[in-house]
Amino acid sequence: MASATLTSKGQITIPVRVRKALGLDAGDRVEFVEIDQGKFAIVAARRSVRELEGMFQNKRRRPVSIEEMNAAIARRAAESR
């Protein structure tokens, strides 16, 4: 398992093994994609969104309406207070 230490400025160094697996070079951007509560995937930002297909197999499959999204946002905002 690869690990990194968070600095006081909120920075980490991505381990060599992870950089090689993601095909990352200096200056590349990464995205942190939440796959479950408290769990994130690191994705090279230069990849197509289509490559993410299948990553969320255990997530809800039906489309969510704007009203449902707004209700979820409101619930989370209320919980954070």
| Banded model confidence at residue 78, pLDDT cuts 50, 70, 90 | confident
Judge whether 57 lies within some domain: yes
Q: Say how many domains are in the chain.
A: 1
Q: What is the pLDDT of residue 64?
A: 84
Confidence band, pLDDT 50/70/90 cuts, at residue 10: very high
Q: Which domain holds residue 34?
A: 16-79
pLDDT band at 56 (very low <50, low <70, confident <90, very high): low
Burial 15-45 (b: 16+ CB within 10 A, else e): eeeebeebebeeeeebeeeeeeeeeeeebbe
Q: With 90 as the cut, is the pLDDT of residue 55 above it?
A: no
- Farthest-apart Cα atoms in the chain, separation: 43
User: Does 8 fall in a domain?
Assistant: no
Number of neighbouring beta carbons within 10 Å of residue 68:
11
Domain membership of residue 10 (yes or no) is no
The CATH number of residue 53's host domain is: 2.10.260
Tens-digit pLDDT profile for residues 16-54: 999 999 888 888 889 888 888 889 988 888 756 676 677
